[in-house]
Structure 1
């Protein structure tokens, strides 16, 4: 038996870090939404009880470093599943890009194996399991648009943002999330208005939304990686209504309302950046079939 599941990327419209917690994680407030850029996960039952990762991307680990592998192993152990699974991952989301590609792959694996192995778990139960794998996995289980707090695993759903295009560009560098957090000085940064962003989305107010985008981690990444700052400048020059780095970077996204400006941005960025995507915000949460 085979089963296909989409694993959409996410962007953060607002990302704030409040303080470091006693457990070593950081307390965050984020408004996140899924976008129409997705990996494809194909799950196939195995009779030998093994978990196998199959991918043609050299950047995707095929062992227990892979979050999709960890998701399958956790479900298999917790619910005493005897069968195994082959997990074929077709990557469309850039790796190590601040777009939660690995977390979304894990979330898609949880949703898919819930059906394949007939576990009959709810999305809430899958999200709690996802939180054990990584901070973004809970949100990715649900998809849609949400305010995420705690270390990112406490999810409060909000409506889809106003209709718009998102143009993403990833420079040919990798960014270590740990490095960015280690260099973050919360007493020296400007904090975004997360509450205002939530209100803007509830009011379906595009102008208010684009005026409030913010990511406290930019204060670190832009200094350490000038390539990210350069892409931000180019997006502004090509006419983006708002420009922001996603997660800890290095991917930058520009928001535009109209098709004509989207095409101008996309074509302009393709001139000096290999990985450029023009997508819609998905905005609506997943449902179990």
Structure 2
């Protein structure tokens, strides 16, 4: 549930703003009607509602309606649109990628997974969109705040990039981003990685001798990989595919647990 709750003075001010917005749109509104609309919107923050009223003045043609305001208020909750949500969901297919996703994206992906596994990407996207819009609509009706969480991939540098980007987009608080990086023991191994991590932690450090030794070992390992036989490469691809399947199964399991918790609420 949202933690916002306007006080009486804020509700009265909002009612006045609703009347002023209606007047600016060429409509006369009864103060009692405006007060009732303000009461219905009091669960949201004042800045968000005022921004929605401003958007209505520029975008809505005709009379101001409660649905116009509510649509814009809800769109400010931080949940991505269905196209962006689908792109995020598809990123989770790469086991090396660290993905920051919402509960609704994870649940919708679980719903679309059987169709996706059958090889029908178009049908999977349709199933995903349908489930996602339903889940988002229900969450907004319940005034449930968006919940972003991290699905960790194998590539350490991509972890830094994904978590840093999520913090910059204010999808996760900087404190949580710092904790994620600390818990994952992420050490950036490139100048780009260090720069991104510095945006979160405020510190940029040079690789220590111990880390340089690890990097050298990684480099040696990569060179060895180039020399392995075609049979060994096939085995590695099979292993990677199995790891991807395990990760997707984990995502589905987490989605089922989320669904159970939603049903229990």
**Band of TM-score, shorter chain:** under 0.3
Structure number with the higher helix fraction is 2
- Normalised by the size of structure 1, how large is the TM-score? 0.24
- Normalised by the size of structure 2, how large is the TM-score? 0.26
Structure number with the higher strand fraction is 1
> Which has the higher Rg, Structure 1 or Structure 2?
2
Larger relative contact order (Cα-Cα within 8 Å, sequence gap ≥ 6): 1
